Amino acid sequence: MSKPAPLSGFPEFLPAQRVVEQHVVTTLAETFELHGFASVETRAVEPLDQLLRKGDTSKEVYLLRRLQAGFDGGPDDAAKGIGLHFDLTVPFARYVLEHAGKLEFPFRRYQIQKVWRGERPQEGRFREFLQADIDIVGRDELAFHHDIEVTRVMLDALGKLDFLPGFRLQVNNRKLIQGFYLGLGADDVDEVMRLVDKLDKLSPEQVTGLLVDEAGLTTEQAEQCLALATIRAADDSFVDRVRALGVEHPLLDEGLDELAQLLRGTVGLATDTVRIEADLSIARGLDYYTGTVFETRLDGYESLGSICSGGRYDALASDGRTTYPGVGISLGVSRVLVPLVQRGVVTADRSVPSAVLVALADEDSRPDADDVATALRARGIPCEVAPSAAKFGKQIRHADRRGIPYVWFSTTDADGVTHEVKDIRTGNQVPADPATWEPPVEDLRPTIITTKE
């Protein structure tokens, strides 16, 4: 086998890079659990009819087929049609329906898993990538304060990833924009929303033209729509600016009230780098949200698109008798991490967990070295024993190449065994007892190193 080439769209990390990913996943999981979210993992596959339920084939589903079809005369999954999940929302909705009788509602869950899409790979777009989703789902009803809750939880989580560049969490509300368009007298509200959503690709003049030509608005109505979409605010001051446009509708009132509540409930979490703002241009395109919608832009990485998106569904799932409304946000872990890691913005200071390399004077002393390592591990100190009794200089280089900060030396003479530990970064070598020595706590685990661009 010659050297294999990477598969485009399937990123993989080297060990030191993987340390960063582990740090991110652990930080997210710990934060979500602090907020009472239970961990759920769903199988990687779903029936094809579920994956294509909304008629949206833009997700580029990967179909599965067994190489040996017809296997053993048994039923063949290929015939029934299964594919890899392309997000964590469709599987979660299915999980809720399948297990509803055994879940307690409102049900808070987080889910950190790989998803697959057969898209053309490009920056921030992969064929296999890691997502971290939080959702709260109710049975029959779900109070609006949960919209505020998921926002707070995700802001808390993102704020703990201190290597991240600054970011803006942008919120809007479908009721607000749909109520506004209804109040204006638009006939096809969804079409207006779809056209206004093109503002990130087209000029305001072009969108105005489309609104007139394709949605049948007057120029004045179209300009009102654009005026609404330009409103941004870091607090609830957007309400007065919308009111000043003179449009009225009960749904608009409801949307304004919800969005104002959301801003007031989260504004206290804003910092220099973690910003939250009402952005009345956000609509989340074709997704089936019915109230709050979220997008997130990373400072300096705007070309990645939204790294963290979501919103409120009136019916995340339904079995015909019972409807399960939900609200959630999904963080594109790979979308954020792969570019940062590849540009060297973030890495770890060692490629192995070991804080200590236990050096070997000769191969016969390996059992004694194992005893030293066992004593260190009993106190939670990751370590490894040198692979061979090479010259000490070579063993120190072995540690250095891996970023292991300490090398342990045991020497035996007439007076018994002497233990010493060397900090190879400083050269400082001191006597040490395997039963009591501990490194400074910051040396216990690999450290995440950031060079923010």
Query: Where in 245-264 is the site for a copy of itself (CB under 8 A)?
Result: none
Looking only at residues 269 through 328 of this chain, which bind a copy of itself when binding is defined by CB under 8 A?
Answer: 317-320
Cis peptide before 106 (omega within 30 of 0): yes
- Of the candidate spans 100-108, 174-182, 202-210, 246-254, the one that interacts with a copy of itself by CB under 8 A turns out to be 100-108
- The 330-359 site mask, x for binding a copy of itself (CB under 8 A), equals ---------------------xxxx-----
Nearest C-alpha neighbor of 129 from the set 86, 65, 161 = 86
| Separation in Å, CA 109 to CA 195, 295, 368, 402, 435 | 34, 20, 47, 37, 42
Return the residue of 27, 87, 118, 139 that touches a copy of itself, per CB under 8 A.
118
Report d(CA 230, CA 416) in Å as an integer: 78
Choices 65-73, 204-212, 270-278, 339-347 (CB under 8 A): range interacting with a copy of itself = 65-73
Q: What residues between 19 and 38 interact with a copy of itself by CB under 8 A?
A: 19, 21-22, 33-38
Q: Is residue 178 part of an annotated ligand binding site?
A: no
Q: Which of 79, 143, 286, 417 binds a copy of itself (CB under 8 A)?
A: 143
- The token duo for 210 is 């489309």
Stretch that binds a copy of itself, among 48-56, 216-224, 239-247, 295-303 (CB under 8 A): 48-56
State the Cα–Cα distance between residues 333 and 27, nearest whole angstrom: 12
Give the CA-trace dihedral at 116, 121, 124, 126, to 10 degrees: 20
- Binding residues for a copy of itself, rule CB under 8 A, total 99
DSSP per-residue codes, 229-247: HT-EESSTTHHHHHHTTT-
Q: Which of residues 145-184 bind a copy of itself (CB under 8 A)?
A: 145-146, 149, 152
Which is nearer to a copy of itself, 84 or 247 (by Cβ)? 84
The verdict on 244 binding a copy of itself (CB under 8 A) reads no
Other CB atoms within 10 A of residue 13 CB? 17
Residue among 377 and 425 whose Cβ is closer to a copy of itself: 377
Query: Cα dihedral angle (98, 104, 109, 111), rounded to 10 degrees?
Result: -30
Site for a copy of itself in 374-413 (CB under 8 A): 377, 380-385, 387-388, 398, 401-402
Q: How far apart are CA 12 and CA 2, in angstroms?
A: 19
Residues 131 and 115: their CA atoms lie apart, in Å, by 7
Annotated binding site for L-histidine: 87-89, 117, 131, 135, 284, 288-289
